[in-house]
Amino acid sequence: MRSTPQSRVRRRHERFVVEALLREDRQTRAELARSLDVSTVTVGKIVDDLMRQGVIEERDDAEAAPDGGASAGRPARPVGLQRRAPRVVAAELSRRWVRLAALPIGAGREAPWQASVPMSRSQPVLTRRLREAKRALGVDRPWAVAVSTPGVTDDAGGRVLFSPNLHWTEGFDLPAMFGSVWGAPVCVVQEIRAAALAHRLCAGVSEDFLLVDFGEGLGGAAVVDGRLYQGAVPLSAEIGHVVRPGNPRRCGCGARGCLETLASVRGVKRSYKEATGDARPTWGRMVKRVESHGIEPWLAETLEASGETIGGALNVLGLRHVAITGWPTRMPEAVGLALGHCLERSTLWARFGRVTWTLAPRRRVAGLLAAAIDRVVLAGDGCDV
């Protein structure tokens, strides 16, 4: 059915209500109306519709308080996103594992992964392992499955176009595989974009920002005007593949000198090993080294290269806030401070304005849940209460 201006406005209001409840659970209709600057009558109708769909429920444990939207003498009852039964399956692809979680709509900000299966390049083998995990999760037919994957991803088409760390997924039909296991609509989300979406919702961020994740690779995602930024092609904020002069390391993308070869987990371990001669470069040993010796050249050079590249991205995008996730959050405080100061020095806006940065937890599960709600549940696909 072709959408009308009225239906588009209503869909937008539904998203506003759901996002408000993702940020803060247990709100009355009048509180939602005030925060969204929409009439109480309009919010009441949207809430009632979402309750009939099973997306929203009244909070039985609420400490009801008198509210302007309630009838005289009757306390208003807060509502929240449904949290009684799993409706969404979240899946995260990595080099070694597929992590999974079965989530109610109102799972919350810190929902944990509940199962994992070893990664396999064989579709039949991986499908069999996912079916086994499905039985362990106990969810037969969810409303949606949300899959995060690294690389350059066409989220709308559900295809991985290029993945330096998971080459075998390129062109692979992920929606067909996950859909065959769970019998539900599947949405694919690039992993850093999922993390950025979660940060916007869970951290209550109102300004635009660039999220940079230091993990198996090094990736970024920008949020502009409250939405994930997307250019003309499904490729943005790929700061990990900015070439650093003088860096001879070969990257999984095929180029030489990419920042990712220095600033990913594997890259920083390699630098530590080369500088110290430690044959067992575990993360714990690296942290102890920094705690006892401070920021040595092998780490300082990586922080400087990362900060300069992030600063350059802020200059290009016109942003002034950075959220940093990944291994810098698991290092001594001095590491995060050094990275932040370096990116400030590399940002033009900091010379006459203010640039801010924060170390943040990864909340990829929450981002996948939000993507599934927005792309599938509120789109009216697959929701059979």
Q: Is residue 382 part of a domain?
A: no
Q: Is residue 383 part of a domain?
A: no
**What is the DSSP pairing of strand 356-359 with strand 321-326?**
parallel
The whole-model pTM stands at 0.83
Torsion (CA) 69, 74, 75, 77 in degrees, nearest 10: -80
Facing residues of 129 across strands? none
From 81, 100, 119, give the residue that closes a domain.
Answer: 81
Question: Quick one: 76 and 173 in the same domain?
Answer: no
Tokens of 368: 């996948």
pLDDT above 70 for 233: yes
The mean pLDDT value for 109-125 works out to 88
Q: Is residue 169 part of a domain?
A: yes
Q: Is residue 141 part of a domain?
A: yes
Question: Quick one: 155 and 262 in the same domain?
Answer: no
Structural domain range at position 211? 207-359
Confidence of residue 2 (pLDDT cuts 50, 70, 90): very low
The pLDDT, as a whole number, for residue 384 is: 36
Q: Is residue 140 part of a domain?
A: yes
DSSP 132-157: HHHHHHT-SS-SEEEEEE-SEEETTT
Confidence of residue 239 (pLDDT cuts 50, 70, 90): very high
Q: For the segment 291-311, what is each residue's pLDDT rounded down to a tens digit?
A: 999 999 999 999 999 999 999
Residue type, 339: L
Question: Quick one: 99 and 228 in the same domain?
Answer: no
Q: Is residue 201 part of a domain?
A: no
Q: What percent of the chain has pLDDT over 90?
A: 56
Comparing C-alpha atoms, which of 52, 50, 27, 30 is closest to residue 40? Answer: 30
Question: Quick one: 348 and 255 in the same domain?
Answer: yes
Question: Quick one: 138 and 254 in the same domain?
Answer: no
Integer Cα distance of 135 and 103 in angstroms = 15
Question: Quick one: 152 and 54 in the same domain?
Answer: no
**Phi, psi of 98, rounded to the nearest 5 degrees:** -115, 115
Integer Cα distance of 106 and 18 in angstroms = 10
Integer Cα distance of 49 and 53 in angstroms = 6
Question: Quick one: 44 and 99 in the same domain?
Answer: no
Do residues 234 and 154 touch, judged by C-beta distance below 8 A? Answer: yes
Question: Quick one: 350 and 211 in the same domain?
Answer: yes
Do residues 186 and 175 touch, judged by C-beta distance below 8 A? Answer: yes
Facing residues of 146 across strands? 90, 187
Tally of domains in the chain: 3
Question: Quick one: 294 and 334 in the same domain?
Answer: yes
Do residues 242 and 258 touch, judged by C-beta distance below 8 A? Answer: yes
Least confident segment among 63-67, 222-226, 230-234, 318-322: 63-67
Question: Quick one: 16 and 101 in the same domain?
Answer: no
The mean pLDDT value for 39-51 works out to 91
The pLDDT, as a whole number, for residue 75 is: 58
Better-scored residue on pLDDT, 280 or 359: 359
Do residues 184 and 176 touch, judged by C-beta distance below 8 A? Answer: no
Question: Quick one: 173 and 232 in the same domain?
Answer: no
Q: Is residue 321 part of a domain?
A: yes
Cα 332-338-255 angle, rounded to 5 deg: 100
Do residues 239 and 263 touch, judged by C-beta distance below 8 A? Answer: no
Q: Is residue 200 part of a domain?
A: no
Question: Quick one: 276 and 236 in the same domain?
Answer: yes
Give the CATH number for residue 348: 3.30.420.40
Q: What percent of the chain has pLDDT over 70?
A: 92
Integer Cα distance of 330 and 361 in angstroms = 10
